[in-house]
Structure 1
Amino acid sequence: MSLHEGMTFEGAWKVTESEAADRHGNPFVHVLTTPVVVEWMEEVATAGVQPHLLEGQGTVGSIVKMMHLAPTPIGLVVKVTATLTQIDERHLVFRIEAFDEVEKIAECRHERVIVDLARFHNKAGRKARGTGTS
């Protein structure tokens, strides 16, 4: 594993109609919806660390503490930057910020846990079959 504190990862998206709040259950609010901002923040952190993990490993989100600071209209581009601020064994902590073309729109403290994917999916499969998780 080649992860180290201070690593930075980025992504960018153009906001479309499908990411508007009124398409996600919040009528009359035609700007980028908060759940999509959270999704993009998680996506940047996930995609950023994945190439640095051992084969068969992945990460799962465990904590998201996000503040949505400003609205973003349809058509603007949002850039998300995630910085890996802490590594504690399998636990990764990120500081994530999102900016549209005008201003900072969100900030987040996000934690992810490194998992063995085969074990993780096996446990989820047992749960889905109703055979327990131990």
Structure 2
Amino acid sequence: MDIPELQPGLSAEITTEVDESLVVKHVGGDGVLSTPSMIGLMERAGIQAVQPHLNEGQTTVGFHVDVMHFAATPKGKTVTVRAELLDVDGRKLRFKVQAHDEDKKVGEGTHRRAIIEVGQHG
């Protein structure tokens, strides 16, 4: 499979307010950004980085996440996640992912996605 526009360096950022739908509350107070929510935002950024460059009828699915979440982001703060395409190996894509809130880096790691066919041909 050859998609010429799919080159390392493609990236996307998502900035959102940490709201009720993104928090976990077992730590007390109004809650903080949950790790699954942070990872979900990282995955969405990966999708947004490459989807415009894929062929019609193609999309990506995540198959590996290796991420550390090392600082809390309280509800009401803004979080920005970024995914940058590091390499393309056939249908497999590897991204560097990071998350920052208004004050600090809160998470980072790598995420892998695979290109799949979703459309009908013919």
- Normalising by the residue count of structure 1, what TM-score does the alignment of the two structures yield? 0.81
RMSD after superposition: 1.5
After superposition, what is the alpha-carbon deviation per residue over 1:34-64, rounded to whole angstroms, capped at 9, x for unaligned?
1100000000001221110000000000100
Name stretches of at least 5 consecutive residues in structure 2 with no aligned partner: none
Counterpart of 2:97 in structure 1 is 96
Q: Secondary structure in 2 aligned to 1:50?
A: helix
In 2, the alpha carbon distance for the partners of 1:94 and 1:104 equals 17
Q: Is the 8 A contact 2:49 2:84 kept in 1?
A: no
Query: Superposition pairs for residues 21-60 of structure 1, below 5 Å?
Result: 21-22=24-25, 26=26, 28=28, 30-60=31-61
In 2, the alpha carbon distance for the partners of 1:18 and 1:57 equals 29
Q: Does the alignment pair 1:18 with 2:36?
A: no
Query: Superposition pairs for residues 122-133 of structure 1, below 5 Å?
Result: none
The structure having more radius of gyration, on CA atoms, is: 1
Q: Is the 8 A contact 2:49 2:85 kept in 1?
A: no
Q: Secondary structure in 2 aligned to 1:37?
A: helix
Q: Is the 8 A contact 2:14 2:82 kept in 1?
A: yes
Q: Secondary structure in 2 aligned to 1:18?
A: helix
2:106 maps to a residue whose letter is I
After superposition, what is the alpha-carbon deviation per residue over 1:71-129, rounded to whole angstroms, capped at 9, x for unaligned?
0011111111111001001100000100000000000210000001148xxxxxxxxxx
Report 1 or 2 for greater relative contact order, CA contacts < 8 Å, sequence distance ≥ 6. Answer: 2
More helix by share: 1
- Normalising by the residue count of structure 2, what TM-score does the alignment of the two structures yield? 0.89
Counterpart of 1:122 in structure 2 is none
In 1, the alpha carbon distance for the partners of 2:103 and 2:40 equals 21
Name stretches of at least 5 consecutive residues in structure 1 with no aligned partner: 120-134
1:35 maps to a residue whose letter is P
Structure 1 runs (4+) deviating above 4 angstroms are: none
